[in-house]
């Protein structure tokens, strides 16, 4: 229950709920319950009391009203990718949104409407039919809801900003069990808070995003070198990142080479450094702009080519499957200092698992062109974000992987802007880290929370207590 007490939910009560719904109700033992309760990060092992697979806004509304009538704790699952497992809570009523994946593109108005259970790939697939896109993340299986509510960045963010900078409206079921629309002209305080303040204010049923002409072909992909070249490649990355136009977005990764066909077999499992790129402007310009990367040193693999944007958006999917044990740490950087580069390379050399990476994303561009008060997502001074993403399979390897991540992070956080990305926070990141992510917006969010959710009904998230 919401007050933490145990509640014996009788079959009669569940049957009453079922009568109000179109989507199925699942309890432990029912087909699909395990799929719903498990999330991307296998370190998270929580069990909701039951799951409702919502089949539309009316189901969401019925669930929230039912939860209020019975004082039940609720959790909401979008794509289930949150590293801290915020989609699932023990003993809660879970609203699993994964049956609500409708996408409607209006190519005249350049707006896409997405149901809240949609995945990034669902959106790109539909909008790219019209040569349009909105900035989303790098892995197509991530949920739009969690990504958007915490900010959202990807290959198009340097051109068009955070995902949340491009939301023009949301439909939301509030703690009162009312369906409201939030946009610049309607419930403007709620609209502001939802764009970066996480799932604190209600259950979103749909998002409307602004679209831009992109692709359908871009210049994108990866070039790889042995990690022995890392010092030079970091310099190349930095030099390019500081001068390229916003149409180009770069990422650098140091990790053991995955067993992919474009890398030589004898390199698989050995440490490599990769630069990833997406140029979303004119293809001829893109070919020229990535040439210094492609011709640098002696790459052991190169798939940085003209390719469909939609293909680029799913290039990292296979390497990020659901069900591995994961632990991340992350910080925003104002610049890449030589001392940082050295530490980054040294720590990456001690990675503990073939699936782990040390990643450096280039930010800047449109992200930095508005001030911190614009939206709660904040951190508009960030030029880069580094992320240590540990992933492994066996419980016995937990300690080694977590320790590597924590040690590397502790040693490198001196270079941080002091801010961190809400959507990369892990289970052991507490309130201070939420505040670091939300910056100046935190106090105002608490006030908006007091208006829209004074009893803190929506609390199984990066929780902001009502002011």
Ligand X SMILES: Cc1cc2nc3c(=O)[nH]c(=O)nc-3n(C[C@H](O)[C@H](O)[C@H](O)COP(=O)(O)OP(=O)(O)OC[C@H]3O[C@@H](n4cnc5c(N)ncnc54)[C@H](O)[C@@H]3O)c2cc1C
* Position among 36, 57, 134, 142 found at the interface with ligand X (CB under 6 A): 142
Measure the CA–CA gap between 429 and 292, rounded to whole angstroms.
Answer: 39
* Position among 72, 112, 149, 438 found at the interface with ligand X (CB under 6 A): 149
Grouping H, G, I as helix, E, B as strand and the rest as coil, residue 35 is helix
Residues 80-119 that bind ligand X (CB under 6 A): 80-83, 86-87, 97, 116
Q: How many CA atoms lie within 13 Å of 202's alpha carbon, on the beta-carbon side?
A: 30
Grouping H, G, I as helix, E, B as strand and the rest as coil, residue 428 is coil
Span of 27-35, 75-83, 236-244, 398-406 interacting with ligand X by CB under 6 A? 75-83
Residues facing 94 on adjacent strands: 51, 75
Shortest distance (Å) from residue 288 CB to ligand X: 26
Residues 193-222 that bind ligand X (CB under 6 A): 198-199, 203-204
* Integer angstrom CA distances of residue 370 from 62, 366, 379: 39, 8, 10
Span of 12-20, 138-146, 221-229, 434-442 interacting with ligand X by CB under 6 A? 138-146
- 81 within 8 A of 118, measured Cβ to Cβ: no
Residues 404-463 that bind ligand X (CB under 6 A): 423, 461
Nearest to ligand X of 41, 105 (CB atom)? 41
Measure the CA–CA gap between 237 and 328, rounded to whole angstroms.
Answer: 23
Shortest distance (Å) from residue 95 CB to ligand X: 8
DSSP letters, 137-198, are -S-TTSBHHHHHHH----TTHHHH--GGGGEEEEEEE-TTS-EEEESSSSSHHHHHHHTTST
Shortest distance (Å) from residue 167 CB to ligand X: 13
* Position among 48, 143, 215, 276 found at the interface with ligand X (CB under 6 A): 143
* Position among 48, 79, 365, 378 found at the interface with ligand X (CB under 6 A): 79
Shortest distance (Å) from residue 265 CB to ligand X: 26
Nearest to ligand X of 283, 316 (CB atom)? 316
Residue nearest to ligand X (CB): 146
Shortest distance (Å) from residue 12 CB to ligand X: 28
The residues, any chain, with a CB within 8 Å of residue 315's CB and separated by 6 or more, are: 220, 221, 222
Return the sign of the alpha-carbon dihedral for residues 63, 67, 70, 73. Answer: positive
Helices (H), 295-386: 309-312, 338-348
Contact between 150 and ligand X (CB under 6 A)?
A: yes
Residues facing 386 on adjacent strands: 331, 360
- Residues engaged in binding ligand X (CB under 6 A): 39-40, 75-83, 86-87, 97, 116, 137-139, 142-143, 145-147, 149-154, 198-199, 203-204, 320, 423, 461
């Amino acid at each position: 229950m919401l007050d933490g007490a145990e509640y014996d939910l009788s079959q009669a009560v569940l049957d009453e709920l079922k009568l109000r719904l179109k989507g199925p109700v699942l309890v432990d033992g029912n087909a699909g319950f395990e799929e719903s309760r498990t999330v991307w990060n296998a370190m998270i092992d929580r069990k909701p009391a039951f799951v409702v697979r919502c089949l539309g806004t009316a189901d969401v509304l019925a669930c929230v009203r039912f939860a209020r009538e019975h004082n039940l704790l609720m959790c909401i699952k979008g794509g289930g990718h949150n590293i801290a497992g915020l989609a699932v809570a023990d003993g809660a009523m879970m609203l699993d949104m994964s049956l609500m994946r409708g996408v409607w593109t209006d190519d005249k108005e350049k707006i896409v409407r997405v149901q809240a259970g949609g995945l990034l790939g669902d959106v790109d697939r539909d909008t790219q039919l019209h040569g349009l896109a909105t900035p989303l993340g790098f892995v197509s299986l991530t949920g739009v809801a969690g990504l958007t509510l915490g900010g959202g960045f990807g290959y198009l963010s340097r051109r068009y900003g955070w995902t949340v900078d491009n939301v023009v409206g949301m439909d939301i079921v509030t703690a009162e069990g009312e369906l409201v629309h939030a946009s610049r002209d309607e419930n403007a305080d709620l609209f502001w808070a939802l764009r970066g303040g996480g799932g604190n204010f209600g259950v979103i049923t749909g998002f409307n995003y602004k679209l831009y002409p992109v692709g359908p072909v871009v210049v994108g992909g990866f070039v790889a070198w042995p990690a022995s070249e890392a010092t030079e490649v970091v310099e190349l990355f930095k030099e390019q990142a500081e001068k390229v136009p916003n149409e180009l977005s770069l990422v650098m990764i140091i990790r053991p080479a995955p067993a992919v066909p474009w890398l030589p077999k004898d390199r698989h499992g050995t440490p490599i450094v990769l630069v990833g790129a997406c140029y979303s402007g004119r293809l001829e310009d893109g070919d020229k702009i990535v040439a210094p990367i492609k011709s640098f040193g002696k790459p052991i693999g190169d798939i940085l080519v003209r390719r469909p944007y939609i293909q680029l958006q799913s290039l990292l999917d296979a390497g990020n499957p659901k069900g591995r044990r994961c632990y991340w740490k992350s910080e925003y950087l104002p610049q890449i200092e030589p001392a940082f580069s050295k530490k980054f390379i040294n720590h990456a050399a001690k990675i503990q698992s073939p699936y782990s990476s040390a990643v450096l994303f280039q930010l800047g561009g449109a992200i930095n062109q508005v001030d911190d008060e614009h939206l709660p997502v904040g951190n508009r001074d960030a030029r880069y974000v580094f992320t240590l993403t540990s992933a492994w399979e066996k419980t016995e390897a937990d300690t080694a992987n977590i320790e590597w991540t924590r040690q590397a992070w502790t040693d490198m956080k001196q270079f941080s802007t002091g801010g961190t990305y809400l959507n990369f926070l892990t289970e052991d990141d507490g309130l201070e880290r939420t505040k670091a992510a939300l910056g100046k917006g935190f106090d105002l969010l608490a006030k908006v929370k007091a208006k829209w959710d004074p009893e803190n009904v929506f609390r199984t998230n990066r929780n902001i207590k009502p002011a």
